[in-house]
């Protein structure tokens, strides 16, 4: 078996750089580079050398299988974050026999294969590393900790319990067995179904937390939408001019609103236009505004616009700097800007409280097919023992869907999909 | 000196079926049994079939095997279990007359071409290196054979317990062959220990039948063989009685004297067929258990009280029997006893039931850790066919989980092993809806025909049924009718404008064949048995389409064959625990590897990658 290594921190100048080595040769390689290793489960400062040539002095951590991230023998070298030091250490490592640079995601793959994590946890880890905001971090962490897997395993256990009740009446019909299992089976199905359905609706919110909420800024041409976007971004993201119809394409600015990932969209002003390019821009603006999670109408009178605000949408008067009543928002002076941001944040913070344990379409699809099968099973169970064979079949389908979710079966393609989203060394 | 292609040791259910299968394949076959009267003995309850088990018998019959035909001749009460549940989970069962069964099995065996019956005791196997080449009999005779099928049941260190008394032996009255056991020990195979029990047998003339509830057979018997059309033996009723608090009190008081509870037995017993001691202890709140009184024969006087197997001493057996209603003065003809025995971990076998380490030696039946006549016979069939294939230089025949209960059992045994005596259940078959007792012939007879092991009349029967099914299916699917037309015929359907064929209508659980005849009158021309099967196919059609995807996936995985010498140790990323499990299970292909206990999807993907590497290297 190969021993693998990689830089675990970002590839740039930094205070500290961590190089991780995992596999059967990890300890012997460590001893050849550092003289002696700290005892297992501890750390100490050691010289790191190549053929007697001192490269750096760093903190060395020793882990022994199976008590490590990958479940193998592991050492970690915490070095000074210099590009030259890192290059030299990686070169030295690759010169050992049976030691090579890790492939993308290989550390995590080994952790998975050695039973240190399940699939859902691995996906959570990918999200955790990609997390930019506090809400994203908290959500991903929950998955890494196995919250989803735990819930799904619990559902699975209940469904297996329900299936076994049905099977008893089928396979032991000739013996002394409980006759009416329908109430117990139905109760088990109901409990799992309602929780799974709830999880499905929450997953849409979670998906938003993971990918970001979208806010479309809409209004008439020259209402100051681009100016507002630039003020929100704190930079010139969109071109502004006194000419109406300057913005043609949709411009996005991604922000962290107290831990919530929010993308503001600047769109073309909505009006009748003879300009072919502007007309395309307007169509695009309307389409994006409709699919966005929230719309900010920068408008005195929304009936001027070819789009109606939905219940939580925000309507605010444009160009507060030119007004005297103290209302509205201005990208030029910043008036009303903070109030607008607070309002947007309040809407999403409320929605985010309904987030669930999963944020992935793959999970949702599995849950959905499990729920569909459970509904069918439930209906059949109520029809009576004559169709228990069919009910049992639906239950098997439901159980298989849940197993697919946590990656117990049919995982070949899934693995490729998951591991392709990893960069080296994570 | 005699030379055979296939030599079968043991004339029980596994042995008989193995010998017949090999002989039908055209192999020169010998069946070695201690006595002629040992062929076709039902040593436990006098019944064949049941849930899952009935499927096995139908499958054996679909391969033109003997068990189903003999059981039909010996059947003295036929009942289709789960008659009111879906057709996929219905199982044919019959009380069998022990004497008729034995007589008919012997007659069929004597009449079989290519099959020689040898009376004698096998005391040793003849070896050439790691290969078996024949057997030695107690009188010194040597019999050479290219392959040997061992079906010796519980003979490996079998110990019979009646209370504190114990003696060694196979079943009651069988001799134990020490030298043969030593030879098998020398192979160093992994062994386990199991136990099983029997009830005391009663004299029918001493039972007060007049106070007992009667259980009759079905008016329209469901036979085991696709060839059987009418009853052969006189039909009888069984009696039903119950244990009571007094019975349970006697048993509780004497538990310490029971072999199983007194600490005399170490083997694991089946959870689903507990002794009366087990029932009283484990289900202490139940004050009564059902007991079926099953006549063993039309001519003898023995009754088998099903549900009260025991290893208590004889005097306690008498006491508790007499505490049961109707049995107050019943005379025990043979006391109940428990038997414990060694079995060979079936993971030492490949999917053809040949030992991996000692070639040309096949094992079938109870020696592989199973229980039940049907499980034994089905294994006998597999071993007999494959022994013949090996002797004749043909490719082994694999039964798959997707095509048969036989395949499910062989796969369970050889990849998962057993922890208690293995019995078939319908819930073990994930493709249960397509693996029905009624379509066993559709699933397996073509394979048997390819192997050249079916009779001329069986082939003709099968061909005509297949044609009738095809014609019937075409008639049912030819035309789609409007909801209006269908409603007029008295079937409630949604007025959604969708046209439906009679076949699609039959998928509704409450629509029967007679209903669709009103939709399309010419369907009445279809024969009734064909109608029944078409209706069943239609009922499950949607589910079967869905299952087909899973079946295809299994087939794909089965195509990834794992080479015999494949080493798991040292595969990067495979845990030591798992590689040890794979090393001992030795799966033949990726589908089997997936079912090894503790297998993870990631490990499976890894294995697949390694197999591809392996193929590239060897290509």
State the smallest CA–CA distance between residue A310 and chain B in angstroms: 36
Which pLDDT score, from 0 to 100, does residue B314 have?
Answer: 93
Candidates A388, A389, A402, A405: best to mutate against B (most CBs of B within 10 A) is A389
Express each pLDDT in B505-550 by its tens digit.
999 888 999 999 999 999 999 999 899 999 999 999 988 888 887 7
**Helices then strands, each counted (H, E), chain B:** 19, 20
Domains A3-113 and A215-341 share a fold: no
Chain A residues lying within 8 Å of B553, measured CB to CB: 410
pLDDT at B69: 97
| Residue B551 covered by a domain | no
Name the domain count of chain B.
4
What sign results for the dihedral spanned by CA atoms A37, A41, A43, A49?
Answer: positive
Residue A35 labelled as part of a binding site:
no
Mutate to test the interface with A, among B601, B606, B609, B611 (most CBs of A within 10 A): B601
CA nearest B307 in A: which residue?
Answer: A175
Q: How far is B503 from chain A (nearest CA, A)?
A: 18
Assess whether B305 and B254 both reside in one domain.
yes
B552 in any annotated domain: no
The reported pLDDT for the residue numbered B1 is 57
pLDDT band at B415 (very low <50, low <70, confident <90, very high): confident
CA distance B14 to chain A (A): 24
- Mean pLDDT for chain B overall: 90
Establish if A177 touches chain B: CB-CB under 8 angstroms.
no
- The residue among A302, A297, A323, A305 whose CA lies nearest residue A225 is A297
Question: Would you say residue B570 lies in a domain?
Answer: yes
Contact check, Cβ <8 Å, B84/A387: no
Digit-coded pLDDT (tens) for B330-380? 999 999 998 889 999 999 999 999 999 999 999 999 999 999 999 999 999
Chosen domain end from B315, B338, B361? B338
Q: DSSP letters along A289-347, please?
A: HHHSSEEEEE-S-GGGSSSPPPTT-EEE-S-GGG-SSS-S--TTT-TTHHHHHHHHHHH
Q: Which of A51-65, A296-310, B163-177, B253-267 has the highest mean pLDDT?
A: A51-65
Report how far apart, in Å, the C-alpha atoms of B482 and of each of B510, B521, B530 are: 19, 16, 26
| pLDDT tens digit sequence for B43-91 | 888 999 999 999 999 999 999 999 999 999 999 999 999 998 989 999 9
Q: Is A240 annotated as a binding residue?
A: no
* Pairing status of strand B142-150 against strand B159-162: unpaired
What integer is the mean pLDDT of B221-237? 95
CATH of the domain at B563: 1.10.150.570
Average pLDDT per consecutive 10 residues, chain A (426 residues; last block may be shorter): 87 87 94 93 94 92 91 93 90 91 81 74 76 76 77 87 84 69 92 93 84 88 85 76 71 84 86 82 86 89 84 87 82 86 88 78 85 95 91 90 68 40 37
Residue with tokens 């260190």: B157
Smallest CA–CA distance, residue B563 to chain A, in Å, is 21
The answer to whether residue B94 sits within a structural domain is yes
Chain B residues touching A115 at Cβ < 8 A: 575, 600
Which domain covers residue B521, as residue numbers? 456-545
Identify which of B176, B180, B190, B170 has the alpha carbon closest to the alpha carbon of residue B132.
B180
Q: Mind spelling out the 3-state secondary structure of B575-591?
A: CHHHHHHHHHHCCCEHH
Q: What CATH code is carried by the domain that includes residue B476?
A: 1.10.10
CATH number at residue B396: 3.50.50.60
Cβ–Cβ below 8 Å for A114 and B575: yes
Torsional class of B220: left (φ above 0), alpha (ψ -120 to 50), beta (otherwise):
beta
Structure tokens at B221: 């018997």
Pick the CATH number of A215-341 from 3.90.800.10, 3.40.50.300, 3.10.20.30, 3.40.50.720: 3.40.50.300
d(CA A167, CA A159): 12
Query: B252 and B215 share a domain?
Result: yes
- B148 burial (CB, 10 Å; 0-12 / 13-18 / 19+) is buried
Residues B128 and B57 grouped into a single domain: yes
Residues of B in contact with A411 (CB under 8 A): 601-602, 604-605
Of B516, B545, B574, the residue at which a domain comes to its end is B545
Q: Are B56 and B164 within one domain?
A: yes
Q: Determine if residue A266 is labeled as part of a ligand binding site.
A: yes
Q: Which chain A residues touch B601 with a CB distance below 8 Å?
A: 119, 407-412, 414-415
* Structural domain contains residue B61: yes
For the stretch B556-609, pLDDT in tens is 777 788 887 888 877 766 777 778 888 877 888 887 887 776 676 667 767 776
What was the pLDDT predicted at A418? 40
Q: A-chain residues within 8 Å CB-CB of B594?
A: 409
Contacts B427 to A, Cβ<8 Å:
167, 170-171, 392
Q: CA-CA distance, B250 to B345, in Å (whole number)?
A: 38
Nearest CB among B433, B509, B573 relative to A113 is that of: B573
Same domain, yes or no, for B165 and B253? no
- Cβ–Cβ below 8 Å for B572 and A2: yes
> How confident is residue B235, by pLDDT bands cut at 50, 70 and 90?
very high
Residue extents of the structural domains in chain A: 3-113, 134-208+360-420, 215-341
Say yes or no for a CB contact (<8 Å) between A172 and B604.
no
CATH number, domain containing residue B331: 2.40.30.260
Cβ contact A354:A205 at 8 Å: yes
Residue B237 lies in a domain: yes
Question: Mean pLDDT over residues B22-34, rounded?
Answer: 97
Q: Is the pLDDT of residue B210 over 70?
A: yes
Cα B196 to Cα A137: distance, rounded to the nearest angstrom:
58
DSSP code of A103?
P
Structure tokens belonging to residue A302:
């929304």
When CB atoms are compared, the residue of A386, A407, A414 closest to B84 is A386
Q: Is B24 in the same domain as B98?
A: yes
CA distances from B259 to A2, A215, A344, B255, B284 (A): 55, 78, 77, 9, 20
| Mean pLDDT calculated for residue range B435-440 | 94
Alpha-carbon distance A9 to B286, whole Å? 66
Residue A328 assigned to a binding site: no
Distance CA A241, CA A227 (A): 9
- Which of A153-157, A238-242, B34-38, B485-489 bottoms out in mean pLDDT, i.e. has the lowest? A238-242
Instruction: Check if the beta carbon of residue B432 is closer than 8 Å to that of residue B456.
Output: no
Would you identify the CATH topology of the domain A3-113? Gyrase A; domain 2 (3.30.1360)
A417 Cβ under 8 Å from any chain B Cβ: no
pLDDT at residue number B534: 94
Q: Do A407 and B574 touch (CB under 8 A)?
A: no
Comparing B156 with B388, which gets the higher pLDDT? B388
Kindly state whether residues B178 and B41 are assigned to the same domain. Answer: yes
Indicate whether B399 and B517 sit together in one domain: no
Residue of chain A whose alpha carbon sits nearest to that of B427: A167
Stated length of chain A: 426
Q: Is residue B597 part of a domain?
A: yes
Pair B318, B349 in one domain: no
Residues B446 and B297 grouped into a single domain: no
pLDDT over threshold 50, residue B213: yes
Residue finishing a domain among B493, B514, B545? B545
Same domain, residue pair B74 and B217: no
CATH architecture type of domain A134-208+360-420: Up-down Bundle (1.20)
- Let me know if residue B391 belongs to a domain: yes
Q: Where are the beta strands (DSSP E) in B450-519?
A: none
Q: C-alpha distances in angstroms, B150 versus B124, B354, B359, B376, B493?
A: 12, 10, 12, 12, 58
């Amino acid at each position: 078996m190969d021993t693998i290594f990689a830089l675990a921190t970002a590839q740039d100048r930094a205070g500290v750089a961590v190089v991780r080595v995992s596999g059967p040769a990890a300890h012997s390689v460590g001893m050849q580079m550092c003289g002696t290793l700290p005892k297992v489960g501890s750390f100490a400062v050691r010289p790191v050398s190549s053929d007697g040539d001192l490269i750096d002095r760093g903190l060395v951590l020793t882990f022994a299988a199976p008590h490590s991230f990958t479940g193998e023998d592991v050492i970690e070298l915490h070095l000074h974050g210099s590009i030259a030091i890192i290059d030299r250490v990686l070169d030295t490592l690759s010169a050992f026999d049976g030691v090579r640079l890790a492939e993308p995601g290989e550390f995590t793959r080994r952790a998975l294969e050695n039973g240190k994590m399940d699939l859902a946890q691995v996906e959570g880890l990918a999200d955790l590393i990609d997390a930019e905001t506090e809400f994203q971090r908290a959500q991903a962490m929950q998955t890494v900790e196995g919250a989803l897997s735990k819930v799904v395993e619990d559902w699975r256990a209940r469904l297996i319990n329900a299936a076994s009740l049905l099977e008893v009446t089928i396979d032991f019909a000739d013996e002394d067995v409980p006759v009416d299992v329908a109430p117990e089976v139905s109760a088990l199905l109901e409990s799992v179904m309602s929780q799974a359905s709830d999880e499905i609706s929450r997953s849409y919110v979670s998906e938003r937390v993971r990918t970001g909420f979208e806010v479309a800024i809409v209004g008439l041409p020259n209402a100051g939408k681009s100016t507002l976007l630039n003020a929100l971004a704190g930079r010139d993201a969109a071109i502004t001019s006194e000419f109406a119809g300057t913005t043609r394409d949709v411009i996005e600015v991604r922000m962290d609103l107290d831990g919530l990932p929010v993308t503001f969209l600047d769109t073309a002003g909505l009006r009748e236009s003879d300009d072919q390019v502007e007309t395309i821009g307007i169509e695009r603006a309307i389409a994006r505004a409709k699919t966005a999670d929230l719309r900010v109408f920068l408008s005195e009178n929304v009936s001027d616009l070819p789009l109606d605000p939905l219940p939580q949408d925000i309507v605010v008067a444009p160009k507060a700097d030119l007004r005297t009543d103290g209302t509205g928002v201005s990208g030029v002076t910043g008036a009303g800007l903070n109030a607008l941001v607070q309002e947007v944040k309040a809407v999403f913070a409320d929605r985010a409280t309904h987030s669930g344990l999963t944020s992935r379409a793959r999970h949702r699809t599995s849950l959905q097919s499990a729920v569909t099968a459970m509904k069918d099973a439930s209906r059949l169970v109520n029809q009576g023992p004559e169709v228990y064979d069919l009910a049992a079949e639906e239950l098997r389908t439901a159980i298989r869907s849940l197993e697919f979710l946590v990656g117990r079966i049919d995982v070949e393609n899934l693995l490729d999909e998951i591991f392709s989203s990893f960069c080296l060394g994570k | 000196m005699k030379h055979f292609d296939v030599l079968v040791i043991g004339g029980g259910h596994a042995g008989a079926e193995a010998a017949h299968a090999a002989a039908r394949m055209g192999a020169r076959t010998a069946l070695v049994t201690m006595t002629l009267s040992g062929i076709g003995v039902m040593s436990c309850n006098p019944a064949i079939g049941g849930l899952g088990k009935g499927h096995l018998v139908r499958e054996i019959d679909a391969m033109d095997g003997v068990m189903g035909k003999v059981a039909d001749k010996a059947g003295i009460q036929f009942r289709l279990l789960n008659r009111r549940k879906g057709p996929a989970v219905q199982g044919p069962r019959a009380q069998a007359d022990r004497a008729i069964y034995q007589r008919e099995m012997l007659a069929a065996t004597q009449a079989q071409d290519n099959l020689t019956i040898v009376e004698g005791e096998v005391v040793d196997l003849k070896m050439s290196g790691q290969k078996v080449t024949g057997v030695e009999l107690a009188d010194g005779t040597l019999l050479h054979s290219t392959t040997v099928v061992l079906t010796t049941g519980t003979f490996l260190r079998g110990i019979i317990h009646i209370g504190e008394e114990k003696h060694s032996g196979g079943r009651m009255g069988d001799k134990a062959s020490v030298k043969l056991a030593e030879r098998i020990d020398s192979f160093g195979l992994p062994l386990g220990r199991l136990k099983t029990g029997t009830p005391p047998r009663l004299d029918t003339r001493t039972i007060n039948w007049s106070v007992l509830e009667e259980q009759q057979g079905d008016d329209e018997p469901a036979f085991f063989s696709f060839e059987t059309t009418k009853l052969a033996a006189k039909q009888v009723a069984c009696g039903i009685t119950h244990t009571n608090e007094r019975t349970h009190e006697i048993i509780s008081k004497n538990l310490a004297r029971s072999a199983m509870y007194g600490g005399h037995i170490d083997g694991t017993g089946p959870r689903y067929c507990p002794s009366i001691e087990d029932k009283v202890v484990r289900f202490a709140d139940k004050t009564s258990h059902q007991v079926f009184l099953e006549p063993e024969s039309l001519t003898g006087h023995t009754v088998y009280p099903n549900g009260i197997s025991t290893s208590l001493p004889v005097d306690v057996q008498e006491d508790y029997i007499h505490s049961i209603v109707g049995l107050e003065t019943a005379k025990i003809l043979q006391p109940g006893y428990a038997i414990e025995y060694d079995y060979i971990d079936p993971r030492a076998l490949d999917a053809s039931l040949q030992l991996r380490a000692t070639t040309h030696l096949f094992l079938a039946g109870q020696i592989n850790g199973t229980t039940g006549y049907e499980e034994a016979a089905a294994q006998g069939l597999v071993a007999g066919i494959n022994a013949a294939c090996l002797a004749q230089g043909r490719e082994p025949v694999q039964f798959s989980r997707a095509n048969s209960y036989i395949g499910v059992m062989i796969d369970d045994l050889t990849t998962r092993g057993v922890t208690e005596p293995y019995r078939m259940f319908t819930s073990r078959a994930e493709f249960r809806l397509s693996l029905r007792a009624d379509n066993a012939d559709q699933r397996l007879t073509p394979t048997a025909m390819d192997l050249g092991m079916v009779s001329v009349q069986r082939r003709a029967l099968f061909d005509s049924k297949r044609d009738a099914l095809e014609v019937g299916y075409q008639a049912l699917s030819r035309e789609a009718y409007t909801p209006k037309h269908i409603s007029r015929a008295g079937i409630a359907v949604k007025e959604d404008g969708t046209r439906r064929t009679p076949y699609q209508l039959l998928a509704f659980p409450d629509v029967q064949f007679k209903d669709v005849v009103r939709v399309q009158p010419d369907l009445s021309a279809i024969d009734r048995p064909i109608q029944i099967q078409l209706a069943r196919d239609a009922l499950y059609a949607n589910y079967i389409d869905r299952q087909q995807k899973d079946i295809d996936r299994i087939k794909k995985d089965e195509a990834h064959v794992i080479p015999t010498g494949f080493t798991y140790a040292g595969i990067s990323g495979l845990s030591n625990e798992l590689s040890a499990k794979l090393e001992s299970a030795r799966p033949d292909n990726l589908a089997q590897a997936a079912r090894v206990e503790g297998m993870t999807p990631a490990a499976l993907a890894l294995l697949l990658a390694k197999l591809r590497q392996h193929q590239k290297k060897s290509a």
